[in-house]
């Protein structure tokens, strides 16, 4: 990083992010986003979800394409296994959020990344969801994320990257802190 | 059980660690009244004889009631006798107490379902400047420092204590998990009258769909006040108690609460609606619609749009935490291999089948829905007394010292 001539390129447009931070500082309304997905039951535990539009910067937006996700449960749950389990989507969400954060922060800190791989696992005692033991929670009893990162930076700098990424991650916050959930039948 | 055994001329003793009605004397708060009306405490050959059948007994009255019953049935009680061990003796059992040993053919475990407060593990993370208290040690609000109180748990104990403590000028925040809402009076009759008359209290353990679940149902949110008022979450909101989600964790001096408050309240409202539907159907089927007031429903439980999810535990706003999170029985002295991995006795309606001659009483839904009520002790004792008598018929010697 002493070498100011070196061009760091992680594919993240940091200038645009910094501009956005500047522009949105005094525009709380524009900063208010709403993310959406819709989910349709197919059969058994199989469902089909789509992600298409979202709201932000004061208006509706559309993704370039409609993304689709099949969710199901594996055969040991007597299901058809036609998609990842919902809890696995949570792991995907957390790992991809942290990884995106690492890339963005590395770019901002002028650290060139060569490879970043996260392995994520969530432990769960299914006595909770099966209603066997009310002292066992339904959700994960813990989540472990392991990063293998090859970058032009010291170990300390890489660890600082990973730490900052957790600090700024939306999904990390969603998973580690409670959220009010309202479910209604229309 | 002593009355039922005497009726059958079965020689027995009743061991009591303190005085008769010990837990009522030593582990209850001052203002507590029974949650069941006076008429409902029916014991074998004994019942309420006063002029206020619909009232609720105070603690002194409750102690007196049980004390009198012990005298009326001449129960052979050994007071100030603490059992330290019960173990199999082949045949029978050895009961070790601080007043000597007993040999017997049968043992009835009637030490209660509420011996040890069930305090969640996260209690260890409570900052040390906050006082913590369990309901068995609570007597009245004067015991607490001035300032805010976090009441954890919203079943019968949590709601009653929230009401009393908040009215004492200490602002209460009530952390609400699973709970059962119920009106004190419905269509002009006590909810307990409906449960009794419609047969809900008599539902049997071997006829109910999911007995494991039924045994874990929290206590109804009830209070026994002279005005027979309903003490639900709306009543607490009306006096200024603040509702918050289930306590999920304490990290770095900050308490975290689940975002499930709305759903917990919706579940409880739906469950109450189903219970009242059951009563209405029963009233119609039994031609009572003309005799009781018209059916009505309670307004939904009010929950603010975005209940707080966090609370600073270090800014002095909360001075006391009360763990109204339930109790569990203590079988640490039971040296018979009949405990499950949660240290609870495995039994079939109070018959400990894995250890013949051993019986259990007073547990939630032991044999019928009302098993843990005073009113449930009689029918359970009759059933188990009959089983015990036929067991004794099959073995040799009677109880001897």
pLDDT tens digits for B149-163?
999 999 999 999 999
For B247, name the nearest residue in chain A, comparing CA atoms only.
A178
* Residue numbers of B between 218 and 247 with CB closer than 8 Å to A: 245
pLDDT number for residue A3: 47
For B341, name the nearest residue in chain A, comparing CA atoms only.
A133
Q: Do B310 and A177 touch (CB under 8 A)?
A: yes
Rounded to whole angstroms, the Cα distance separating A167 from B22 reads 54
Distance from CA of B213 to the nearest CA of A (A): 8
Q: Are strands B148-152 and B189-190 parallel, antiparallel or unpaired?
A: unpaired
Distance from CA of B54 to the nearest CA of A (A): 36
Helix pair angle (A86-108, A155-167), 10° resolution: 120
A179 touches chain B (CB under 8 A): yes
Segment A44-73 mean pLDDT: 96
pLDDT number for residue A6: 60
- Within 10 A of B247 (CB to CB), how many other CB atoms are there? 23
Q: What are the Cα distances from residue A77, in Å, to A86, B243, B260, B309?
A: 13, 37, 26, 33
> What is chain B's mean pLDDT, rounded?
95
Distance from CA of B216 to the nearest CA of A (A): 9
B243: chain A residues, CB-CB within 8 Å = none
- In sequence order, what are the beta bridge partners of A60? A55
Q: Do A180 and B216 touch (CB under 8 A)?
A: no
Rounded to whole angstroms, the Cα distance separating A142 from A121 reads 8
A182 touches chain B (CB under 8 A): yes
pLDDT number for residue A1: 44
Q: What are the Cα distances from residue B226, in Å, to B49, B63, B120?
A: 18, 19, 34
B213: chain A residues, CB-CB within 8 Å = 131
A85: Cβ–Cβ under 8 A, 6 or more apart, which residues?
A71, A72, A73, A74
- CA A68-A72-A77 angle, to 5 degrees, is 170
pLDDT band at A20 (very low <50, low <70, confident <90, very high): confident
For B245, name the nearest residue in chain A, comparing CA atoms only.
A180
Smallest Cβ–Cβ distance between A178 and the set B245, B262, B342 belongs to B245
pTM of the model: 0.88
pLDDT number for residue A132: 86
Name the percent of chain B lying above pLDDT 70: 99
In tens, the pLDDT along B57-90 reads 999 999 999 999 999 999 999 999 999 999 999 8
B309 touches chain A (CB under 8 A): yes
ipTM over 0.90: no
Segment A102-125 mean pLDDT: 96
Q: Do A179 and B248 touch (CB under 8 A)?
A: no
Smallest Cβ–Cβ distance between A178 and the set B216, B258, B342 belongs to B258
A185 touches chain B (CB under 8 A): no
pLDDT number for residue B120: 94
pLDDT number for residue A135: 84
Greater confidence (A1 vs A20) lies with A20
B81, B346 in Cβ contact below 8 A? no
B36 touches chain A (CB under 8 A): no
Q: What are the Cα distances from residue A114, in Å, to A8, A40, A49?
A: 11, 39, 33
B245: chain A residues, CB-CB within 8 Å = 178, 180
In B53-99, which residue ranges form alpha helices assigned H by DSSP? 59-72
Q: Do B307 and A180 touch (CB under 8 A)?
A: yes
Q: Which of B283, B272, B304, B311 is nearest to B126 (CA)?
A: B311
Interface mutation vs chain A, best among B251, B259, B307, most A CBs within 10 Å = B259
Distance from CA of B304 to the nearest CA of A (A): 11
B300 touches chain A (CB under 8 A): no
Smallest Cβ–Cβ distance between A177 and the set B256, B260, B342 belongs to B256
| Cβ contacts from A onto B, under 8 A | 30
B364 touches chain A (CB under 8 A): no
B262 touches chain A (CB under 8 A): yes
Under-70 pLDDT residues of chain B: 396-401
Distance from CA of B238 to the nearest CA of A (A): 23
Distance from CA of A132 to the nearest CA of B (A): 9
A181 touches chain B (CB under 8 A): yes
Token readout for B276 is 């009242």
- Report chain A's terminal Cα–Cα distance, integer Å: 56
Tell whether the model's pLDDT for residue A4 goes beyond 80: no
In tens, the pLDDT along B282-308 reads 999 999 999 999 999 999 999 999 899
Greater confidence (B5 vs A1) lies with B5
């Amino acid at each position: 990083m002493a070498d100011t001539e070196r061009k760091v390129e992680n594919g993240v447009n940091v200038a645009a992010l910094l501009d956005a931070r500047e522009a949105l500082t005094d525009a709380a309304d524009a900063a208010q986003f709403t993310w959406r997905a819709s989910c349709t039951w197919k059969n058994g535990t199989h469902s089909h979800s789509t992600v298409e539009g979202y709201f932000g910067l004061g208006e509706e937006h559309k993704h370039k394409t409609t993304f689709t996700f099949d969710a199901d449960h594996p055969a040991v749950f007597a299901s058809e296994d036609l998609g990842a389990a919902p809890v696995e989507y949570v792991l995907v969400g957390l790992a991809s959020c942290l990884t995106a954060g690492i890339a963005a922060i590395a770019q901002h800190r002028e650290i060139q990344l060569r490879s970043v791989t996260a392995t994520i696992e969530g432990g769960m005692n299914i006595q909770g969801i099966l209603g066997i033991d009310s002292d066992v929670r339904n959700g994960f009893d813990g989540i472990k994320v392991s990063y293998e990162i090859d970058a032009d930076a010291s170990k300390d700098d890489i660890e600082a990257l990973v730490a900052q990424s957790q600090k700024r991650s939306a999904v990390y916050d969603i998973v580690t802190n409670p959220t009010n959930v309202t479910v209604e039948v229309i | 059980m002593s009355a039922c055994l005497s009726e059958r001329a079965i020689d027995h003793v009743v061991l009591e660690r303190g005085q008769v009605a010990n837990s009522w004397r030593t582990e209850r708060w001052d203002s507590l009244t029974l949650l069941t009306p006076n008429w409902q405490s029916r014991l074998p050959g004994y019942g309420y004889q006063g002029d206020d059948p619909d009232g609720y007994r105070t603690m002194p009255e409750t102690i007196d009631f049980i004390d009198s019953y012990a005298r009326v049935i001449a129960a052979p009680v050994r007071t100030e006798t603490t059992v330290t061990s019960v173990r199999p003796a082949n045949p029978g059992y050895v009961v070790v107490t601080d007043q000597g040993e007993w040999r017997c053919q049968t043992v009835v475990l009637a030490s209660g379902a509420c011996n040890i407060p069930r305090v969640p593990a996260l209690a260890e993370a409570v900052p040390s400047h906050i006082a913590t208290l369990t309901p068995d040690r609570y007597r009245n609000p004067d015991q607490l420092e001035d300032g805010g109180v976090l009441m954890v748990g919203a079943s019968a104990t949590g709601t009653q204590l929230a009401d009393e403590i908040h009215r004492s000028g200490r602002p209460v925040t009530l952390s609400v998990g699973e709970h059962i809402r119920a009106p004190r009076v419905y269509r002009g009759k006590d909810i307990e009258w409906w449960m009794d008359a419609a047969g809900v209290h008599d539902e049997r353990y071997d006829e109910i769909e999911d007995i494991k679940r039924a045994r874990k149902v929290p206590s109804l949110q009830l209070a026994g006040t002279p005005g027979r008022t309903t003490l639900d979450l709306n009543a607490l909101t009306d006096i200024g108690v603040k509702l918050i989600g289930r306590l999920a964790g304490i990290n770095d001096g900050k308490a975290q609460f689940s975002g499930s408050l709305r759903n917990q309240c919706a579940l409880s409202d739906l469950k109450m609606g189903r219970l009242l539907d059951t009563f209405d159907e029963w009233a119609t089927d039994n031609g009572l619609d003309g005799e009781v007031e018209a059916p009505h429903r309670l307004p939904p439980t009010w929950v603010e749009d975005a209940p707080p999810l966090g609370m600073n535990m270090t800014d002095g706003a909360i001075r006391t935490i009360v763990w109204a999170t339930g109790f569990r029985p203590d079988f640490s002295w039971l040296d018979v291999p009949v405990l499950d991995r949660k240290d609870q006795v495995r039994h079939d309606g109070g018959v400990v089948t894995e250890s013949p001659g051993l019986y259990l009483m007073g547990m939630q839904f032991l044999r019928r829905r009302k098993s843990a009520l005073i009113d449930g002790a009689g029918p359970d004792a009759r059933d188990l007394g009959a089983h015990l008598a036929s067991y004794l018929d099959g073995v040799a010697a009677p109880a001897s010292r």
